[in-house]
Amino acid sequence: MSRKRNLEGDAKSRILEISARLFAEHGFNAISVRDITSEAGVNIGAVNYYFQSKEQLFHEIFETLLRPLQRERIALLDQIEAEAVDASPDPERILRALIEPTIRSSVGKDALSPYLPRLMFQTYAVARQSIGDDVAVENDAVATRFIKALARAIPHVSYEDICWRYYMVLGGFLLVCTDAQGAQRLERLSDGRCDTNDGPRIIEQMIAFFLSGITGPAPSKPRRRAAKALPVNVPSADPAPTPPARRRRSNPDPSPQ
Amino acid sequence: MSRKRNLEGDAKSRILEISARLFAEHGFNAISVRDITSEAGVNIGAVNYYFQSKEQLFHEIFETLLRPLQRERIALLDQIEAEAVDASPDPERILRALIEPTIRSSVGKDALSPYLPRLMFQTYAVARQSIGDDVAVENDAVATRFIKALARAIPHVSYEDICWRYYMVLGGFLLVCTDAQGAQRLERLSDGRCDTNDGPRIIEQMIAFFLSGITGPAPSKPRRRAAKALPVNVPSADPAPTPPARRRRSNPDPSPQ
DNA sequence: GTCTATAATTGGATAGAC
DNA sequence: GTCTATCCAATTATAGAC
């Protein structure tokens, strides 16, 4: 209320901002409420006062960041589909609708957005109810809409293949977006050639790669090692007709997140 | 020593196995040594007795799993390059050398391998020294060798672009491999069409997508929105010549991992 | 080698003064 | 609204009996 700390923002939004960064960098379990409150310059009780619990604070971060992004994506997709009622939509525009809002919201403006990809990345990395049930449902709905749009845009690729490829897009997308706040491994591996802070460049790199990949020819059916490759023999041999083979012995009830 | 628990494996390897699974599923910080020892059916002190600390145990898991895998990859790559001294190597075989050892080691045999991709995934997700310095160095060396091999195999793609694309390959690869032990989101989104436990199928899907993507045409240079796409107008407008724009305010010293 | 008991620290959350 | 002091549960790690 008072105007005391109006310059820096009130305590609540300071906590939101600082904790988003700390959680994104180190993960939920690695950060204590003491880490947050001390770095935010507020007292220890503030997190519980404003957000009831550390868990609730985490949920609220996703609410704040993810929902608007998903709505922007859907708005773009709506527009694309509205303009292509008769013809099939342009796959590049669909990919851009998926990717660009994330990158764009990462430059300037509000200070939290850059951390969303990394927080999402962690959602896949650990089995933990990071986001509320409702947000998770909305999330899947958005993904399904994009998959269906891509399937219509690229009719020569089967629906199943589109699903695989959508997921590979997602993985590449998240890893690249995530690298700047974390390992910075791409800059290192490329000897500084790849600047993971250059939003427009990231976008064009992704679009080029994903568009080629997602529209490319279908995989050779599971007769293995078809066309060109010579047989590779390695220590653990790999006789030609390896059967599908089940894997993973125990996985009682994987939290569906 | 004694033959008491020889059937189940001795205490040390039981701990290694159980903890690899628990860490992979929930992350390092979410798992306590009590979780491990109780699930492994050993006493609470066993982790510290065999591994000195929880941290050391974690490092040892990577040692055990990652080193042999990297060696197998390098052996395959050596062979490919040896056979192509004059001609340029086959990009598909290089991608297979990168991908197949992981998938192959995930079926049957030893019980730990399936968890490696997920553990690696977490390495990217949180800023934490998951793996020892020496393993990290070897890791980067392997990546660099693959990047250089791909650059030679695909001469019409610039070295910088190869780096971006290698990293996107890595991201898609990890997310897909990771999904079976975790969110199982791909199976859900695809309505059961995609079976993330079917190793050979995963391989062929990846090879097809990555090969098209990595050999595809270069991205349009940062004159944005070049060829086909119509201008998209969204709430937060996007005037044509958006400058690069710096981002991220504070990131004191990101652990280079 | 295996186990129990316990040390020493740190975690999330709350009560109550101001 | 803000802050301090504090409770209580859970953590890693160790000491020492068997």
pLDDT digits (tens, 9 = 90+) for A173-217: 999 999 999 999 999 999 999 999 999 999 999 999 999 999 999
More confident residue, B197 or A253: B197
Give the model's pLDDT for residue A221. Answer: 74
The CATH number that applies at residue B146 is 1.10.357.10
Give the model's pLDDT for residue B104. Answer: 86
Give the model's pLDDT for residue B196. Answer: 96
Query: CA–C1' span, A44 to C8, in Å?
Result: 22
B56 within some domain: no
Q: Could you tell me the pLDDT band of residue A234, with boundaries at 50, 70 and 90? A: very low
- Using a CB–CB cutoff of 8 Å, tell me whether A49 touches chain B: no
Number of domains in chain B: 1
pTM: 0.86
- Using a CB–CB cutoff of 8 Å, tell me whether A6 touches chain B: no
Q: Could you tell me the pLDDT band of residue B250, with boundaries at 50, 70 and 90? A: very low
Q: Is the per-residue pLDDT at A243 higher than 50?
A: no
* Residue B203 near residue B103, CB atoms below 8 Å: yes
B249 within some domain: no
B36 within some domain: no
Query: Which tens digits make up the pLDDT trace of A120-154?
Result: 999 999 999 889 999 999 999 999 999 999 999 99
Give the model's pLDDT for residue A110. Answer: 72
Across the interface, whether the CB atoms of A183 and B26 are under 8 A apart is answered no
Q: Could you tell me the pLDDT band of residue A250, with boundaries at 50, 70 and 90? A: very low
Give chain B's mean pLDDT: 86
Kindly give, in sequence order, each residue whose CB lies less than 8 Å from that of residue B127, ignoring residues fewer than 6 positions away.
A25, A26, A182, A183, B254, B255, B257
Q: Is the per-residue pLDDT at A7 higher than 60?
A: no
Mean of pLDDT values over A229-254: 38
Interface subset of B 156-195, CB within 8 angstroms of A: 159-161, 163-176, 178-186, 188-190, 193-194
A44 within some domain: no
CA distances from B104 to A246, B22, B69 (A): 12, 22, 10
Across the interface, whether the CB atoms of A171 and B166 are under 8 A apart is answered no
Q: Is the per-residue pLDDT at A68 higher than 60?
A: yes
Instruction: Report protein residues in contact with nucleic acid strand C, where contact means CB under 7 Å.
Output: A 31-35, 44-45, 47-49, 52-55; B 1-2, 4-5, 10-11, 42-46, 49
Kindly give, in sequence order, each residue whose CB lies less than 8 Å from that of residue B59, ignoring residues fewer than 6 positions away.
B130, B131, B132, B135
In 3D space, the residue among A147, A71, A149 whose CA is nearest the CA of residue B236 turns out to be: A71
Q: Is the per-residue pLDDT at A84 higher than 50?
A: yes
- CA angle, corner B120, sides to B119 and B126, nearest 5? 85
Across the interface, whether the CB atoms of A175 and B179 are under 8 A apart is answered no
- CA angle, corner B209, sides to B105 and A145, nearest 5? 110
- Using a CB–CB cutoff of 8 Å, tell me whether A212 touches chain B: yes
Best to test chain B binding among A21, A78, A119, A126 (most B CBs inside 10 Å): A126
A38 within some domain: no
Nucleotides in chain D with any atom closer than 7 Å to protein CB: 1-6, 10-16
Q: What are the backbone dihedrals phi and psi of residue B21, each rounded to the nearest 5 degrees, phi first?
A: -65, -45
In 3D space, the residue among B38, B10, B36 whose CA is nearest the CA of residue B22 turns out to be: B36
What's the DSSP call for residue B113? G
B107 within some domain: yes
Give the model's pLDDT for residue A8. Answer: 58
Best to test chain A binding among B124, B174, B220, B233 (most A CBs inside 10 Å): B124
DSSP states along B56-92: HHHHHHHHHHHHHHHHHHHHHHHHHHHTTSSSPPPHH
Query: Which tens digits make up the pLDDT trace of B62-117?
Result: 999 999 999 999 999 999 999 999 899 999 999 999 999 999 887 655 778 999 99
Query: Which tens digits make up the pLDDT trace of A85-115?
Result: 989 999 999 999 999 999 988 765 577 899 9
Q: Could you tell me the pLDDT band of residue B13, with boundaries at 50, 70 and 90? A: very high
Interface subset of A 74-113, CB within 8 angstroms of B: 75-76, 79, 83, 90, 92-93, 96-97, 100-101, 104-109, 111
Nearest CA in chain B to A120: B125
Q: Which of residues 20-49 of B touch strand D (CB under 7 A)?
A: 31-35, 44-45, 47-49
Across the interface, whether the CB atoms of A183 and B147 are under 8 A apart is answered no
Give the model's pLDDT for residue B8. Answer: 58
Q: What are the backbone dihedrals phi and psi of residue B108, each rounded to the nearest 5 degrees, phi first?
A: 60, -140
Residue B37 tokens read as 């020892």
B32 within some domain: no
Give the model's pLDDT for residue B249. Answer: 33
CA distance B256 to chain A (A): 5
* Residue A122 near residue B121, CB atoms below 8 Å: no
- Using a CB–CB cutoff of 8 Å, tell me whether B139 touches chain A: no
Q: Give the nucleotide nearest to A46 (CA→C1').
A: D2
- Using a CB–CB cutoff of 8 Å, tell me whether A41 touches chain B: no
Q: Between A and B, how many CB-CB pairs are < 8 A?
A: 356
Mean of pLDDT values over A23-42: 97
Nearest CA in chain B to A72: B234
Query: Which tens digits make up the pLDDT trace of B130-171?
Result: 899 999 999 999 999 999 999 999 999 999 999 999 999 999
Q: Residue A205's domain spans which residues? A: 62-214
B149 within some domain: yes
